[in-house]
A and B are shown apart, each in its own frame.
Chain A
């Protein structure tokens, strides 16, 4: 075991390999407030990558309803329960990560879902956290609530799948931090399936190997965002490159959202993997639930998001505006511009889309207009 620094938990921790950060790290921000669980992302991924024999149950991308939706069943609550108390002292995690809580003979604390755990991808869909009683009223946070959690592989800085593979079949690409599973080398021991706390590695019974999200690396290599990003009709996703907090740049969209404005938070940072998909928490859900899921600073994130200024709101407008990865951005008055690393403009988005209101009736013909196309 080596000692490595994990900025998300504010301390160093034990990991199977020494710290070795890539030249740049693929990362993403998902704005939960915009997700409607249409599953277009799920199908975009499914049709692109996992339509083969043995991949029938695989969802490298899925959207589940929290608090009662899971894919696979109970993936998060089961591990949280086994991990025990997860206490924070400010920005420092004082509990154990899954590497520090590993049982004898193991490299990480984990569990392996069975086929029945994968059999109900829509379990808990649209289930509220509680009953809607008489006298209920709408205020924030909602008295009863649910929200949609879209999930892909987090391409973690300290992947548990990679640490657990006894054959070294999983590697993190130095050029972009994407975590890949070598299909030529894997022998299907399912250690990675057991160790990944997010359960984003899947065993393929037809090939006898395990498979996982590849962040659409053939697209990334061409400067394009992955399929689940560009097909998102809610425009909730933005892909990019994230720096460590000490090297954060204001003109980097990912750095700006995660490090500068701190509106986007990692998923279960206490597990210790430094995951690289960040979530803007849902405004209507109760803070204690969100704190457990996204770590400290959730309430500040929601306050900042609620009072978004022109820079923040403008950057949120870049989500879903182009297929290209946007490494830099700037705001000029009422326009936000997405740029290549060298400053070349990629896309230009107005801060507010122009609104045209058409009168409900047409006085010339004395008829009521309908909105039928």
Chain B
């Protein structure tokens, strides 16, 4: 079928316009607004993120407790949020020219975290990891964990492809429980159930803290997904809404970013203070 000339010109212009402009830029907001949707997106590339307002949070040096970070790295993090009334998903995006996801000596993973007060109250705890008796809940994502979830193996050859290992003593034990029991003897962190010690099934961890140096694992069902973008990382971290943070209410959230290439880990990080967050009601 032949197109009529007038229709063909209009169609071409529309097509050109769509490609030239790309997806619509989401609006910006002075606070984090968790927009209400029927379901929350799991992927940072989901189209729904084009509709959620962006809060650009400047990042500050963590230079209050030792070990401190004294040279600023990541400048800001773009924060978006979506809620379905029960859970909230945050999308954090920041610039990072290097993808650091190898756990090796003197190598550190890129990472980010969302922190919320355990209780919604006007007088929020200290933004630096909370304080004694006034805990904060944290969801932490690490690029090195994402790499494992995405398929990187759990052997030294996955980190050093040319590494040669003669033999592990536990390989002599019969396969199954006896071998696992013997392997655990040489992996005390795993034997003790340290959540750092993997192998990992999700790239995030639920944590609770009552001040610097008190971070510990917490029961939680957070999930996450991180992707490299052209400029750096985009990560979705989702969790249940904290008790009291019902749709239509406000609270505070804080964010942190670690740049692995700058040997940032633990308290050596770029972080925000408390940022207001509004959880939208269902329309």
Using an 8 Å CB-CB cutoff, how does the interface string of A182-206 with B read, 1 for contact, 0 for none?
0111111111010000000011111
**Is there an interface contact between A52 and B66, defined as CB atoms closer than 8 Å?**
no
Q: Across the interface, do B186 and A166 meet the contact criterion of CB distance under 8 Å? A: no
How many of chain A's residues have a CB under 8 angstroms from any CB in B?
43
B246 within 8 A of A: no
Q: Pick out which of these stretches binds chain A: B13-21, B190-198, B220-228.
A: B190-198
| Chain A residues closer than 8 Å to B154, beta-carbon distance | 53, 206
Which of A50, A106, A209 contacts B189 (CB under 8 A)?
Answer: A209
Q: Which single member of A107, A166, A184 contacts B213 (CB below 8 Å)?
A: A166
| CB closest residue in chain B, given A108 | B67
Distance A208 CA – B163 CA, assembled complex (angstroms): 19
A186 engages B266 (CB within 8 Å): no
Contact yes or no, A190 B105, CB < 8 A: yes
B69 to chain A, nearest CB (A): 7
A206 and B198 in contact, given A54-B156, A106-B66, A190-B106 (Cβ under 8 angstroms): yes
B63 adjacent to A205 (CB under 8 Å): no
Residues on B with C-beta less than 8 A from A106 are 66-67
Interface: A276 (CB within 8 A): no
Q: Which residues of B, 32-83, contact A by the 8 Å Cβ criterion?
A: 63, 65-70
Tell me if A112 is interfacial: C-beta within 8 Å of chain B: yes
Tell whether, in the assembled complex, residue A115 and residue B160 are in contact, meaning their CB atoms are under 8 Å apart. Answer: yes
The yes or no answer to A354 lying at the interface (CB within 8 A) is: no
Assess the B188–A115 pair: CB atoms within 8 A.
Answer: no
Asked if B6 is at the interface (CB within 8 A of a chain A CB), the reply is no
For residue A206, which residues in chain B have a CB less than 8 angstroms away from its CB? 154, 156, 187, 197-198
Residues of B within 8 A of A191 (CB): 67, 266
**Contact partner of B197 among A49, A56, A117, A207, CB < 8 A?**
A207
A187 touches B187 (CB 8 A): no
Query: What is the interface of chain A mostly: helix, strand, loop, or mixed?
Result: loop
Choose one: B108, B160, B189; the contact of A184 (CB below 8 Å): B189
B248 interface contact, C-beta 8 A: no
Complex contact B193–A55 (CB within 8 A): no
Q: Does B263 contact A (CB under 8 A)?
A: yes
Whether, in the assembled complex, B8 has its beta carbon less than 8 Å from a beta carbon of chain A, the answer is no
Among A54, A164, A206, which residue has the most Cβ atoms of chain B within 10 A? A206
Scoring A residues 93 to 113 as 1 if CB is less than 8 Å from chain B, else 0, what string do you get? 000000000001111000011
Interface centre among A168, A186, A190, A208 (most CB of B within 10 A): A208
Q: What's the Cα separation between A127 and B28 when bound, in Å?
A: 65
Q: Tell yes or no: B12 within 8 A of A by CB.
A: no
Q: Check A202–B105 contact: CB distance below 8 A.
A: yes
**Cα-based distance from A50 to B155 in the complex (angstroms):** 15
Q: How far is the CA of A52 from the CA of B159 in the complex (A)?
A: 15
A211 → chain B closest CB, angstroms: 8
A145 to chain B, nearest CB (A): 32
* Nearest opposing residue in chain B for A184, CB measure: B192
Q: Does A167 contact B (CB under 8 A)?
A: yes
Q: In the complex, which residues 233-273 of chain B have their Cβ closer than 8 Å to any Cβ of chain A?
A: 263, 265-268
Structural contact, B105 and A209, CB atoms closer than 8 A: no
B7 within 8 A of A: no
Q: Contacts A52-B183, A105-B67, A184-B193 given; indicate if A205 touches B265 (C-beta within 8 A).
A: no
16 additional contacts, CB 8 Å, given A187-B266, A202-B105, A207-B189?
Answer: A51-B168, A51-B186, A52-B170, A53-B156, A54-B187, A113-B106, A118-B105, A164-B67, A166-B66, A187-B215, A189-B266, A190-B265, A191-B67, A191-B266, A205-B156, A206-B154
